């Protein structure tokens, strides 16, 4: 099996990853850098049971944070403008008022993850 590892990448923080069923499990098992995943149980586009959960279980020592419903696929995008909210209702309002709290929690998870897994900058 060919490796596609990029030695410049020292850790991965993945939000709502895709391609779960398409990945090769032994390839994921060979990942040797810290990996953290964040997703929402409300994701109807990439259900966590078929995507992020199998990936997290296949990668040694991967961390997984799952937010409760209604947090879904689009919750992690930036807040929409008023015009965007009218045009893209499903994308802009998928988690309602929880979106701001999920954004803050995800930022804190990412900062904590990288602080623990990467050396301080020179």
H-only helix segments in 1-122: 25-29, 52-58, 82-87, 89-92, 98-117
Which of 101 and 2 is assigned the larger pLDDT?
Answer: 101
Q: How far apart are CA 46 and CA 34, in angstroms?
A: 23
pLDDT band, residue 77 (cuts 50/70/90): confident
pLDDT in tens, 17-74: 876 666 777 888 989 999 999 999 999 888 999 899 999 999 999 999 999 998 988 8
């Amino acid at each position: 099996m060919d490796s596609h590892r990029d030695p410049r990448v020292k850790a991965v923080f993945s939000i709502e990853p895709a391609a779960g069923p398409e990945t090769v499990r032994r390839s994921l098992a060979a990942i040797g850098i810290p990996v953290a995943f964040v997703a929402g149980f409300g994701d109807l586009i990439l259900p966590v049971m078929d995507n992020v959960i199998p990936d997290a279980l296949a990668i040694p020592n991967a961390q997984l944070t799952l937010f409760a419903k209604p947090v879904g696929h689009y919750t992690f995008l930036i807040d929409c403008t008023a015009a965007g909210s009218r045009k893209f209702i499903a994308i802009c309002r998928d988690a309602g008022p929880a979106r701001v709290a999920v954004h803050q929690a995800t930022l804190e998870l990412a900062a904590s993850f990288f602080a623990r897994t990467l050396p301080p900058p020179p």
